[in-house]
Amino acid sequence: METQFLHTFVAVADRGSMAAAARVLNITPAAVAQQIRTLEREIGAPLIARAGRSVHVTEPGARIVERARELLRGVADLRTVATDETPAGELRLGAGTNALTGLVPDVLARLVEQHPRLKVFIQPGYSPELYRAVEAGDLDAAVVLEAPFALPKTCGFELLREEPLVLLAPRKWAERGAHELLANEPLIRYDRAQWGGRLADQYLQEAAIEPHERFELNALNAIAVMVDRGLGVSLVPQWLRPWPEGLDVVCLPLPRPSEARRIGVVWSRASVRHRLVTAFLREAKAVSPLR
């Protein structure tokens, strides 16, 4: 069985269209259809049902699509295991939204320059779900917030940077104190359901500040835009730029110590792609050396 035909089947299943899969695979739609028909004959069951220009996975196709993904990952792993000491193959990486726009692009720029044979699959997500994906072996590593719990022995964690809490305020309020603003201006709260938001909530409680809450959300760039529009102030980690362009906001220091948000890389010690993970860690520490 040609693994390329399985790759074509997964591409069609993911995109719901022969034409879309053809564009991704850089082959013609006719070639996609032919490969699917050949695979169906080898499997002995219809895998794709056609309805006009769109397609969908049949019941037999749905039963094997995840197995097909696992098999394709296994084939990629063979190259990783068999090659020489130069990292090659596919690294499966997870990252949060802010890391994807801040830290990760700089790391990947160094990584692909040093290791041009490397391919990276990136899965966005929140830290708790990325930890689970690494522990389950679905991802090799992820750029995440440090977990507030002990990791299993199958996982490792490398701290990259610490982000202290700051008060984000419109520039026109820059001369006012952080606590005075928190006590008197509307608060755009960083979501308490997230680990970073809990740090802000803990600070407010320890400082005995009861804010006038206006909004609560888990999107730091959106919070910055709302502060710029004069909707309130926010207590947030001082996250990496780039931020949205054209903002006229300031980051005011807090008058009392606060716990910092800690960001690092979690990885699976059981991954066969340990050399790829090591290469990523090396470049990540070079981009963001912990001080």
pLDDT one-digit tens code per residue, 217-256: 989 999 999 999 999 999 999 998 888 889 999 999 999 9
DSSP 260: P
* Residue 237 CB-density burial (10 A; 0-12 exposed, 13-18 middle, 19+ buried): buried
* Backbone phi, psi, residue 261, to 5°: -75, 130
Distance CA 60, CA 264 (A): 41
Domains of the chain: 3-80 (1.10.10.10), 84-162+262-287 (3.40.190.10), 165-259 (3.40.190.10)
Distance CA 170, CA 190 (A): 17
Q: Walk along the chain (291 residues) and give the pLDDT tens digit of each residue.
A: 677 888 888 888 888 888 888 887 888 888 888 888 888 888 888 888 877 667 888 888 888 888 888 777 776 666 655 555 555 578 899 998 889 888 999 999 999 888 887 889 899 998 999 999 998 888 999 999 998 888 888 899 999 999 999 999 999 999 999 999 999 999 999 999 888 889 999 999 999 999 999 999 989 999 999 999 999 999 999 998 888 889 999 999 999 988 899 999 999 887 778 888 999 999 999 987 665
* Backbone phi, psi, residue 110, to 5°: -70, -40
∠ CA(207), CA(174), CA(185), 5° rounding?
Answer: 50
Q: Give 48's strand partners.
A: 57
The structure tokens listed for 153 are: 């022995």
Largest CA distance in the chain: 74
Angle between helices 274-287 and 103-114 (to 10 degrees): 120
Tens of pLDDT, residues 75-91: 666 665 555 555 557 88
Contact 145, 195 (CB under 8 A): yes
pTM > 0.85: no
